[in-house]
Structure 1
């Protein structure tokens, strides 16, 4: 991925969530876990984190 080591992703998004994601019920319920894109980037070896995490 062009030498990237870290991906800064929007937390709570079903695709980009890094530690919690909306459950898809449209009830604004969060569940623990990564979104689809975040999980794939992690699998490829990138560190994924939310913008407010240092």
Structure 2
């Protein structure tokens, strides 16, 4: 999840492409795992990072 957080902060890679790059079989599986570990969805995380900048 640290790699995912870093990628969401530093690039505009689509969440689906990021999911497959990180070895998840689907965007929904990645999003569920990300939300379980981080507490927010990947899109919400990216939005928070953008708002903080």
Smaller-chain TM-score bracket: 0.3 to 0.5
Please identify the structure whose Cα radius of gyration is greater.
Answer: 1
Instruction: Compute the TM-score of the two structures, normalised by the length of structure 2.
Output: 0.33
| Structure with more helix by fraction | 2
Instruction: Compute the TM-score of the two structures, normalised by the length of structure 1.
Output: 0.32
| Structure with more strand by fraction | 1
